[in-house]
């Protein structure tokens, strides 16, 4: 199938051609015709499948099909996203695909000055991309009018629920006109998503492009079983030895991100941390530097990295495995996007084995182990004793998890005689990590 078979008008096809897209991705093939028919959809599409164009292109087309509104254009399509980064990204996509059509888009999200957003909104916007919290602020201040909204998109709805946005979303939906077309995109189908879909969608067409929770086939996945204390050194070595130019590294906590970043800088690796405690300006700068290849490694927490679209990102490293197995799929979805080859490496310490098994259970497959890690082999075995359950859903306060991690390490050092007597020098790599970034 080609884009020209999709009943999109010439200016949209031109923008697609300028992006170099040759044919629609499976989610686009399925979703675009259905959305153009005016149907609600429930789309199970993970990030990296081209889902953004899958809803943006038909939305632009549907708006173009309508009589041109008077200026300032009222908001006719509302797209809600969980994070500011995803909001920016979707907004950029709308602008890219809509660059040859006379439609306006705006984006609003928290963490930046609201007054500038208010001023921009006053100029009118056909499509508004927003995070729920900031949109509610604007609604309460009567600075945005949603009375003309005919299209609602919930992008990465599962993540919005994980982040506790359900109440905000419901408040926003209550404000919207009842007659509208609803598009719900979610990488996973939890009970909560199914419930929301039942309440929100009218006779939806279900679109699913990958098996629930399946990882993209274009990503090669590997596990390094390694003691926690050697992870940083191994990561430096992998970057330097393989001469990686761009690697996204996931850690579980904000403090963990900052600490790892400081350590990598000492190893001569250019890197920045991306997490929720950073100001929006700092987050944008870090992301831009990463996209421009000014830094080699971006160290990110799950929330901050959600929805990031960095073209052809070749390497993703799970420095820590996520507490919620589904996040693994989102993380590795950063690589191997839209058919490009990608590599996802997980550094797994014995105490994280249960998280790895949860991921493998969800994927219904075993992730290959690297036989020779260069370090003393460690076994990843199921826990015999019951351990406290990992927190589900939200990435809780960074401090909490961080502290748990610390005390866990200290205990094992103090209490386990083998650990105390194991000579790290022996266990360490004989290969020295070389300085990867020459000045
Ligand atoms: P998304 O899943 O929407 O985040 O998109 C993932 C990536 O796929 C983005 O970098 C898009 O630019 C790219 N993309 C979207 N549609 C296509 C297409 N039809 N052909 C090639 N790349 C695409």
pLDDT of residue 437: 43
Burial of 90 (0-12, 13-18, 19+ CB in 10 A): buried
> Strands 41-44 and 77-80, how do they pair?
unpaired
47 lines ligand 1 (CB under 6 A): yes
> 147: how many CB neighbours lie within 10 A of its CB?
9
Q: Mean of the per-residue pLDDT values for the chain? A: 84
Name which residue sits closest to atom 11 of ligand 1, judged by CA: 50
Between helices 84-97 and 280-291, what is the axis angle to 10°? 60
**Number of the ligand 1 atom closest to the C-alpha atom of 333:** 2
Give the up-direction half-sphere exposure of residue 273: CA atoms within 13 A in the CB hemisphere.
21
Residue 435 has pLDDT above 50, yes or no: no
Contacts 24+ apart (CB under 8 A), 157-160: 157/184, 157/185, 157/186, 157/193, 157/196, 158/186, 158/187, 158/188, 158/189, 158/190, 158/193, 158/326, 159/82, 159/83, 159/187, 159/306, 159/307, 159/330, 160/80, 160/81, 160/82, 160/132
**Rounded Cα–Cα distance for residues 246 and 342 (Å):** 11
pLDDT digits (tens, 9 = 90+) for 145-181: 999 999 999 999 988 998 899 999 999 999 999 999 9
Residue 339 has pLDDT above 70, yes or no: no
Name which residue sits closest to atom 18 of ligand 1, judged by CA: 21
Strand order through the sheet with 315-318? 219-225, 342-348, 315-318, 247-250, 297-300, 271-274
**Rounded Cα–Cα distance for residues 108 and 146 (Å):** 14
Residue 100 has pLDDT above 70, yes or no: yes
User: What are the structural domains of the chain?
Assistant: 3-208 (3.40.50.300), 219-363 (3.40.50.300)
Q: Of the residues 54, 156, 331, 337, which should be mutated to test ligand 1's pocket, given the most ligand atoms within 8 Å of the CB? A: 337
Q: What is the mean pLDDT of residues 194-200?
A: 93
Q: What is the DSSP letter of 368?
A: P
306 lines ligand 1 (CB under 6 A): no
81 lines ligand 1 (CB under 6 A): no
380 lines ligand 1 (CB under 6 A): no
pLDDT of residue 438: 37
CA 298 → CA 105, 247, 252, distances in Å? 29, 7, 14
Least confident of 282-291, 306-315, 339-348: 306-315
Q: What is the mean pLDDT of residues 412-416?
A: 31
Least confident of 128-137, 246-255, 384-393: 384-393
**Rounded Cα–Cα distance for residues 335 and 328 (Å):** 12
pLDDT of residue 85: 87
52 lines ligand 1 (CB under 6 A): yes
Residue 433 has pLDDT above 90, yes or no: no
Rounded distance from Cα 244 to ligand 1 centre (Å): 23
Name which residue sits closest to atom 5 of ligand 1, judged by CA: 50
């Amino acid at each position: 199938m080609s884009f020209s078979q999709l009943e999109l008008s010439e200016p949209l096809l031109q923008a697609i051609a300028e992006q170099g897209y040759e044919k629609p991705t499976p989610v686009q093939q399925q979703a675009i015709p259905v959305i153009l028919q005016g149907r609600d959809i429930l789309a199970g599409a993970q990030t990296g499948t081209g889902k953004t164009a899958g809803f943006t292109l038909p939305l632009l087309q549907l708006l173009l099909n309508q009589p041109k509104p008077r200026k300032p254009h009222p908001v006719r399509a509302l797209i809600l996203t969980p994070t500011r980064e995803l909001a920016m990204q979707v907004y950029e996509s709308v602008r890219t695909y809509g660059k040859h059509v006379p439609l306006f888009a705006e984006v609003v999200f928290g963490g930046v000055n609201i007054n500038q957003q208010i001023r921009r909104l006053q100029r009118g916007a056909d499509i508004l991309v927003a995070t729920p919290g900031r949109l509610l602020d604007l609604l309460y201040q009567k600075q945005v009018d949603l009375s003309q909204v005919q299209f609602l998109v919930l992008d990465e709805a599962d993540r919005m629920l994980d982040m506790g946005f359900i109440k905000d979303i419901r408040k926003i939906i209550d404000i919207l006109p009842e007659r509208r077309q609803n598009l719900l995109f979610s990488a996973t189908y939890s009970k909560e998503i199914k419930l929301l879909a039942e309440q929100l969608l009218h006779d939806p067409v279900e679109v699913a492009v990958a098996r629930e929770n399946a990882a993209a086939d274009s990503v090669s996945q590997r596990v390094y079983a390694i003691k926690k204390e050697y992870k940083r050194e191994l990561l430096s070595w992998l970057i330097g030895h393989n001469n990686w130019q761009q690697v996204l590294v996931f850690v579980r906590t904000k403090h963990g991100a900052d600490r790892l970043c400081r350590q990598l800088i000492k190893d001569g690796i250019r890197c920045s941390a991306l997490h929720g405690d950073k100001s929006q300006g700092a987050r944008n700068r870090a992301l831009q530097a990463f996209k421009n290849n000014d830094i080699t490694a971006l160290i990110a927490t799950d929330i901050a990295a959600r929805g990031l679209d960095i073209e052809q990102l070749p390497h993703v490293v799970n420095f820590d495995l996520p507490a919620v197995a589904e996040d693994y799929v989102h993380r590795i979805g950063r690589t191997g996007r839209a058919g490009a080859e990608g590599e996802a490496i997980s550094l797994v310490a014995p105490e994280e084995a249960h998280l790895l098994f949860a991921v493998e259970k969800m994927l219904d497959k075993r992730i290959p182990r690297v036989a020779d890690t260069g370090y003393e082999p460690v076994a990843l075995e199921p826990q015999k004793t019951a351990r406290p359950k990992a927190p589900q859903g939200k990435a809780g306060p960074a401090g909490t998890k961080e502290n748990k991690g610390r005390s866990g390490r200290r205990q094992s050092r103090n209490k386990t005689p083998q650990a105390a007597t194991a000579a790290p020098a022996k266990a360490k790599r004989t290969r020295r990590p070389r300085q990867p970034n020459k000045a």
